[in-house]
Amino acid sequence: MMQGKIALEEHFFLPSFAAYGADPSPLDGATKAHNYVPAYFADVQKRLGDRSLRLRDMDRCGIECMVLSLTQPGIQSIPDRAIAVETAKRMNDDLAERFLSAHPNRFAGFAAVALQDVSAAGDELQRAISKLGFKGVMINGYTNIGDMNTAQYLDEPPVWDFWARVEALDVPVYLHPRSPLPNQRRVYEGYPVLADAPWGFGAETAVHTLRLMLSGLFDRFPRLRVILGHQGEGLPFLLPRVESRLRHASPEVRGRQLKPVTSYLRENFYLTTAGAFRTQALIDTLLEVGSDQVLFSVDYPYETVQEQSDWFESLPISVDDRLKIGRTNARRLLRLSS
């Protein structure tokens, strides 16, 4: 078993989330009790906040460090601007105190930010990096503005000032999935579980990523690095078709990007194995982006460390690629010292 693995899409939740005025109910997210068996739901809820259980799971499977982030949809689901700003700050402080300070060599952090207020989000990211030692930022898809059916996506003009701050800080953004807007779920009627982790998460995030590519964001800020989980939310397989059809689209509708969309996937994105333990899919991902852009992750506690690690150890890849994916790519990207 490979020792020293680093995992990047690993979630936490603390009861203090509600103490700052945020409604804790949206955190059901991918683990809605009515969609999943009670035993699974209860185990996830327990492990989200239990540091000792997490460390035992890590030790058993050779994981040296987990990069922790507030479970979805987190801050992005708080429509009230002031509450969102305050909750992001307090949750970052709580993560630093509860996990990072107690075990600095075992845990790192991705900051939560409130893009309901773009300027405050940039300030909080700066504070989390410079004062708390966080390694980047986790953004859970679109941000609710004012109500749960109004979204701000990351390619839209108000957010570009935040992207400028991100590039200046030279840290990655992990774009994590969330379910589609409640008023955009007609296709899921009768099959509500599909709107969440089994399908809606990936579909929503893939389209969100395409918005970033077609907006010209990466031409304006070429040093941006975005992390996608679940082996790229299907994009390694799907983007060649997108690129092919965009060639025939009218100039006014095919986007403002200056390069083929697959170029951005290879140059500006890192893809993790979180929650996607399928060998055939990984081989395709490696063929599309190369082993320098792929990172080991679990999606803990929604997936088990044991299942993800057993799959990773069985992959028919070289020793060098296993080391890069499991450890050295993450150390380079996040500037980890251990």
For this structure, is 80 an active site residue?
no
Q: Report the relative pairing of strands 269-272 and 173-176 from DSSP bridges.
A: unpaired
Which is nearest to 12 in space by CA: 33, 1, 34, 27? 27
Average pLDDT score over residue span 68-88: 95
Instruction: Indicate if the pLDDT at residue 32 is higher than 50.
Output: yes
Measured CA to CA, the distance from residue 11 to residue 110 in angstroms comes to 10
**3-class SS string, 39-108:** HHHHHHHHHHHCHHHHHHHHHHCCEEEEEEEECCCHHHHCCCHHHHHHHHHHHHHHHHHHHHCCCCCCEE
Q: Specify the pLDDT at position 288.
A: 97
Q: Walk me through the domains of the chain, giving residue ranges and CATH numbers.
A: 5-334 (3.20.20.140)
User: According to DSSP H, which parts of the chain are helical?
Assistant: 16-19, 38-49, 51-60, 81-95, 118-130, 157-169, 200-214, 217-220, 230-233, 235-246, 261-268, 279-289, 305-314, 319-323, 329-334
In one letter, which amino acid is 240?
P
Which is nearest to 98 in space by CA: 12, 1, 200, 222? 12
Q: Specify the pLDDT at position 174.
A: 98
pLDDT in tens, 235-288: 999 999 999 999 999 988 999 999 999 999 999 999 999 999 999 999 999 999
Average pLDDT score over residue span 9-32: 70
When pLDDT is cut at 50, 70 and 90, the band that residue 28 belongs to is very low
Tell me which of 50, 299, 320, 321 is the catalytic residue.
299
Instruction: Indicate if the pLDDT at residue 24 is higher than 60.
Output: no
When pLDDT is cut at 50, 70 and 90, the band that residue 18 belongs to is confident
Q: Specify the pLDDT at position 35.
A: 75
pLDDT in tens, 35-69: 778 899 889 999 999 999 999 999 999 999 999 99
On average, the pLDDT of the chain sits at 94
